[in-house]
Amino acid sequence: MLQKLIYYCQIKSIERICLSFIVIALKNFKITPLQTNLFKKLNFIYPWRSYQEKFLTNFSTHISDDHFHVIAPPGSGKTVLGLEIVKRIGKKTLVLTPTLTIRNQWEDRLQHFFTTDKNFKSVSFDIKSLYEITFSTYQSLHSFYKTFENKEDYFNYFKTNGIETIVLDEAHHLKNAWWKCLYDLKQSSSHTIVALTATPPYDSDRSEITKYFQLCGEIDDEIATPDLVKEQNLCPHQDYVYLSKPSDIEINYIVNFRKEIAAFIDELKTDETFKLFLQDHRFYKDPSRCIDELYGNPEFFSAIIIFLKSTGEIIPFEKIQILGFENEKDVEIPPLTNDWVELLLQNILDDRLNLLDYEAYLLTIEKRLKKLNILDNNKVNFIGNNRIYKSLFSSPSKLKSIVKIIDHEFQHLGNQLQSVILTDYIRNEFLNTPKNIIKSINKLGVVPIFQNLRVSIENKHMLAVLSGSLVIIHANLLAEFYLYENEDDYTIKPLECDAEYVIISGKSSSKSHLVAAITNLFEKGKIKILVGTKSLLGEGWDAPAINTLILASFVGSFVTSNQMRGRAIRSQINNPSKTGNIWHLACIDPTIKDGGRDLEILKRRFDAFLGISNTEENYISNGFERLALPKNITLENVDSININTLEIASKREDISKKWNAAIFTGNKLGREIKLYFQGKKPYPKQKKIYFNDAVKYTFVELTITLSFFLPEFLLKNLHLLISKGVLYFVYTTLAFLGLNFGQKAYKAIKLYLQYGIIHKDIEKMANAIMDTLYELHHFTTEKSTIKIITDLLHQGDVTCSIQGANQIESTLFINALNEMLQPIENPRYVIVKDVWYRKKLDIQNYFPVPQLFGDKKERCEIFLKNWSDHMGKSNVFYTRHLEGRKMLVKARLFHISGAIKEVTKKSIIWK
């Protein structure tokens, strides 16, 4: 019996030792033997929307790499989905937000949507006291980070307290200082990173975008705006642009500025000293002696040649031949434009250390540029200095636009109007402006907008101001205000210029309550027009009653604009017919055909806005083109454009119809690239040229083939000629030619007639890129489910889209194709399709290898193989060697006139 007991104890000891080893091993792999979900008691108490269910179904596959990066528009329930993700991960979590308001929303959503008693205790707002789930801000984390002299202590603090999941809300804020403390924390240990954003910061510079994706990981999933409209989480909505004309003073300033630049360029062209200076420049005088330097900056060399040619100088071919051109016709020297003169002068000033003999003369040019306001901070700018830009961005003409928009919307909505106007600055200096001089206010801001509306609208009680430091309401609303607020918490002061309005100031403890109180009055319809700052109301502020939003902001990024826009597109409970009108303001530059700088920046911001088209073709897309505004905007057509815009905006019922129709034409967001038609003539005329080129192309191909085929065919089939007769031989020959070349010629003529050469090339390029992405394992989706579609639009533009690929795959594909279609800059590898008749037909022969494939020689060779399979035999050149640099310069000079044009446009389309 004793021996059995000893044996039993030995066995149990062995089991305990084995169990200890297992526990140690599991700990090393960061797995606990019986790990439990910390948040199993939390359960979402409402049914999920269909798009949310789909999103959560895909979650488990995306989280496998400990990253989950999501694009979710305002109104998609991003916070609730974030909490569900936290619950499913089940680990101790730190949630970070950009503001206290958004931080508090997370805790509010947790208690109201995931518990039945609103009493989940394991919550903290203090980063110095971490609970199962801690809500804090990026500012708090950054401040906490700076308190540690030894950063290891900072890392160990979170490790010791068991933080394993970090949620980054509104992750687009993470680009600079806030990024550093988070990235260091991420690198210190294995954390699960969940990043949520409405708009990735694509408009930031390359280094900031790189940092952003290093922290957040690649985009895993995206909730589409059409899905949200379909589920009635977002209301049908439309963007409109209201144009304004600069004042006479602004117009005169701009026109005079343009005239002075034109006169300066004319003087420069007739300045023999400047001409001799360029002729004596080392690049032009003896290019063979500075070949490496010239290859490093071919644009400077091009600008010298273009300028000299514009003065009547005959450019010897040997000056250009050094670049490797065999025929003078291979190079098209474009006409001189302001862009080329700007580039020329900028390079001359940057090259001054090599031009010491001309320093006195260059000093006179520099003084002249400064006098004309062309030179600022050593940068030559012919488009317009900061004074012009700021004048248009904040033009007082936009104050009149706002009054007209509000008047128009009130005429059509009446008491249903719920409008918010967001701008950048408060401008307190105009607070007590007398009525008779309000129209002379020359700055854009909260107070100027309020003052202009105050003297323009009839129902003055509708108007209010809400900003961080200034709150104004109509005195008649005070009784309603005090129904919800304590009088002792606020001070009331009548507005000096109009006693019907009062300024409300809250004590420090009641400031957040003041924002909530004014928002409540707006939501109840007591306030109809609310003027505020984007810093307070542009992100995180929730007021679903808004049906008219005017964005009078000119400071900020794509991200900020999209956040502001999101205030107006939320659906409203008990108002299923709500539609949202979003108004954008632009002051045109009458000296520029496309409207000028203010409109140009607005166009770029539209890349972040997904919406319905205003065209006959009904579709959902991002980008400015969907608004169908004229390409050339002048002082003469501004009024007619605005009248048409107001008429469209008044038909709100059409917005809902268009959304409902367009939503069911697709089921997924797809990425598309558009190559703009670059013909020198209108497309219908150019199409005839395409046809002629097609015939030439086919004829050349047949001629080349027959020159090799016919002699050999005659020799091999001579016995047929003798035995069967001449007629039989002719029939046989024609039949053979018809079978081998007739069908090919027919297809070529038909293809070129219908699409032109570029359409065919883009389809081939796209397939070469896709095959390479598969071979390099960037694509994992089943190839049979992916489809590449190229289309020719009626104006001659060509589009290419990919269907069936996931978010990351489609982004990689479109980015690679876009790189290939852009003018060549400085790629590591260049592909050359050196076919002589392509040059004759004005077809591009030089293409940059996309950066994704050009980082290593082996990857480039894989791409070249696939390229050759689709595009025909080609050569690749490494541009970091002398011969490759020579080829690169030649490629950059090939049709160099297109180097400063917008060539392509990337879009997101619902298909």
Tokens representing residue 731 in the block:
């029939």
Same domain assignment for residues 407 and 309: no
Phi, psi of 125 (to 5 degrees): -105, 0
User: Where does a domain end: 701, 721, 754?
Assistant: 754
Same domain assignment for residues 562 and 416: yes
User: Where does a domain end: 635, 667, 699?
Assistant: 667
pLDDT for 420: 95
Check residue 335 and report its DSSP letter.
Answer: P
For 438, counting Cβ atoms within 10 Å of its Cβ (0-12 exposed, 13-18 middle, 19+ buried), the class is middle
Residues 123, 133 contacting (CB under 8 angstroms): yes
Q: What one-letter code names the amino acid at 4? A: K
Q: What one-letter code names the amino acid at 792? A: L
Same domain assignment for residues 330 and 451: no
In degrees, to the nearest 5, what angle opens at C-alpha 908 toward C-alphas 904 and 910? 135
Residues 165, 93 contacting (CB under 8 angstroms): yes
Give the three-state DSSP class for 290: helix
pLDDT band at 701 (very low <50, low <70, confident <90, very high): low
pLDDT score of 279 more than 90: yes
* Angle, in degrees to the nearest 10, between helices 100-113 and 78-89: 70
Structural domain includes residue 41: no
Q: What is the pLDDT of residues 40-50, one digit of tens each?
A: 889 999 999 88
Q: What is the pLDDT of residues 807-861, one digit of tens each?
A: 778 888 998 999 998 888 789 999 987 655 444 444 557 899 999 999 899 999 9
The four Cα atoms 61, 66, 69, 75 give a dihedral, to 10 degrees, of 80
CA distance 472 to 495: 8
Pick from 290-299, 357-366, 884-893 the range whose average pLDDT is largest: 357-366
Tell me which residue of 21, 44, 23 sits closest to 35, measured CA to CA. Answer: 23
Q: What is the pLDDT of residues 592-651, one digit of tens each?
A: 888 888 898 888 888 878 899 998 889 999 889 999 999 889 899 999 999 999 999 999
Task: Please give the tally of structural domains in the chain.
Answer: 6
Instruction: Give Cβ neighbours of residue 125 (< 8 Å, ≥ 6 apart).
Output: 103, 107, 134, 135, 136
Half-sphere exposure of 205 (CA within 13 A, CB side): 2
Half-sphere exposure of 468 (CA within 13 A, CB side): 10
Beta bridge partners of 799: 674, 791
pLDDT for 895: 47
Residues 309, 279 contacting (CB under 8 angstroms): no
CA distance 662 to 237: 13
Same domain assignment for residues 555 and 474: yes
Structural domain includes residue 672: no
pLDDT score of 502 more than 80: yes
Residues 646, 655 contacting (CB under 8 angstroms): no
pLDDT score of 465 more than 80: yes
Q: Chain-centre distance of CA 876, in angstroms?
A: 31
Instruction: Give Cβ neighbours of residue 592 (< 8 Å, ≥ 6 apart).
Output: none
Instruction: Give Cβ neighbours of residue 362 (< 8 Å, ≥ 6 apart).
Output: 348, 349, 352, 355
Residues 621, 910 contacting (CB under 8 angstroms): yes
CA distance 863 to 791: 24
pLDDT for 14: 44
Q: What is the DSSP string of 200-260?
A: --TTS-HHHHHHHHHHH-S--EE--HHHHHHTTSB--EEEEEEEEPPPHHHHHHHHHHHHH
Kind plus residue range of the DSSP H or E element containing 422: strand 419-423
The four Cα atoms 539, 544, 550, 553 give a dihedral, to 10 degrees, of 0
pLDDT for 290: 84
Q: Flag the least confident range among 228-232, 283-287, 319-323.
A: 319-323
Check residue 740 and report its DSSP letter.
Answer: I
CA distance 373 to 381: 8
Residues 790, 798 contacting (CB under 8 angstroms): yes
Same domain assignment for residues 732 and 767: no
Q: What one-letter code names the amino acid at 51? A: Y
Structural domain includes residue 676: no
Handedness of CA 543, 113, 216, 139 (dihedral sign): positive
Kind plus residue range of the DSSP H or E element containing 767: helix 757-775
Residues 126, 32 contacting (CB under 8 angstroms): no
Structural domain includes residue 261: yes
Same domain assignment for residues 25 and 85: no
pLDDT score of 89 more than 70: yes
Tell me which residue of 149, 215, 135, 207 sits closest to 182, measured CA to CA. Answer: 215
Please compute the mean of the pLDDT values over residues 538-562 and round it to a whole number. 79
Q: How many CB atoms are closer than 10 A to CB 114?
A: 21
Same domain assignment for residues 771 and 888: yes
Residues 886, 324 contacting (CB under 8 angstroms): yes
pLDDT for 552: 92
pLDDT band at 2 (very low <50, low <70, confident <90, very high): very low
Q: Chain-centre distance of CA 414, in angstroms?
A: 36
Q: What is the pLDDT of residues 198-222, one digit of tens each?
A: 877 766 666 777 788 888 887 888 8
CA distance 97 to 887: 50
Tell me which residue of 842, 828, 839, 835 sits closest to 885, measured CA to CA. Answer: 828
CA distance 444 to 770: 49
Residues of the domain holding 23: 1-35
Same domain assignment for residues 792 and 661: no
CATH number of the structural domain spanning residue 640: 3.40.50.300
Residues 588, 599 contacting (CB under 8 angstroms): yes
Please give the order of strands across the beta sheet that includes 829-832: 846-848, 829-832, 875-878
Q: What is the DSSP string of 692-735?
A: HHHHHHHHHHHHHHHHHHHHHHHHHTHHHHHHH-HHHHHHHHHH
Structural domain includes residue 500: yes
Pick from 71-80, 493-502, 626-635, 735-744 the range whose average pLDDT is largest: 493-502
Structural domain includes residue 42: no
CA distance 681 to 122: 69
Residues 662, 619 contacting (CB under 8 angstroms): yes
Q: How many CB atoms are closer than 10 A to CB 32?
A: 10
pLDDT band at 534 (very low <50, low <70, confident <90, very high): confident
pLDDT for 470: 95
CA distance 321 to 326: 7
Tokens representing residue 580 in the block:
């949202």
Residues 174, 213 contacting (CB under 8 angstroms): no
pLDDT score of 151 more than 80: yes
Please compute the mean of the pLDDT values over residues 551-575 and round it to a whole number. 79
Please compute the mean of the pLDDT values over residues 103-113 and round it to a whole number. 93
Half-sphere exposure of 682 (CA within 13 A, CB side): 3
CA distance 785 to 782: 6
Same domain assignment for residues 710 and 588: no
Same domain assignment for residues 78 and 200: yes
Tell me which residue of 548, 442, 526 sits closest to 482, measured CA to CA. Answer: 526
Same domain assignment for residues 494 and 561: yes
Instruction: Give Cβ neighbours of residue 45 (< 8 Å, ≥ 6 apart).
Output: 113, 114, 115, 116
Residues 192, 66 contacting (CB under 8 angstroms): yes
CA distance 766 to 862: 15
Same domain assignment for residues 402 and 325: no
Q: What one-letter code names the amino acid at 569? A: I
Instruction: Please give the sequence-ordered ranges of beta strands (E in DSSP) within 536-618, or none if there are none.
Output: 548-552, 580-587, 610-612
* Residue count (the chain): 911
Residue position matching structure tokens 């979003």: 582
Q: How many CB atoms are closer than 10 A to CB 737?
A: 17
CA distance 366 to 770: 50
Structural domain includes residue 673: no
Q: How many CB atoms are closer than 10 A to CB 392?
A: 26
Structural domain includes residue 346: yes
Please give the order of strands across the beta sheet that includes 620-622: 610-612, 620-622, 904-910, 669-675, 798-803, 787-792
In degrees, to the nearest 5, what angle opens at C-alpha 471 toward C-alphas 469 and 477? 165
State the pTM of this model: 0.79
Q: What is the mean pLDDT of the chain?
A: 83
For residue 628, is it left (φ>0), alpha (ψ between -120 and 50) or beta? left
pLDDT score of 447 more than 90: yes
pLDDT score of 553 more than 70: yes
Please compute the mean of the pLDDT values over residues 360-384 and round it to a whole number. 89
Q: Euclidean distance between the first and final Cα of the chain, in Å?
A: 80
Q: What one-letter code names the amino acid at 605? A: R
pLDDT for 893: 64
Please compute the mean of the pLDDT values over residues 738-763 and round it to a whole number. 56
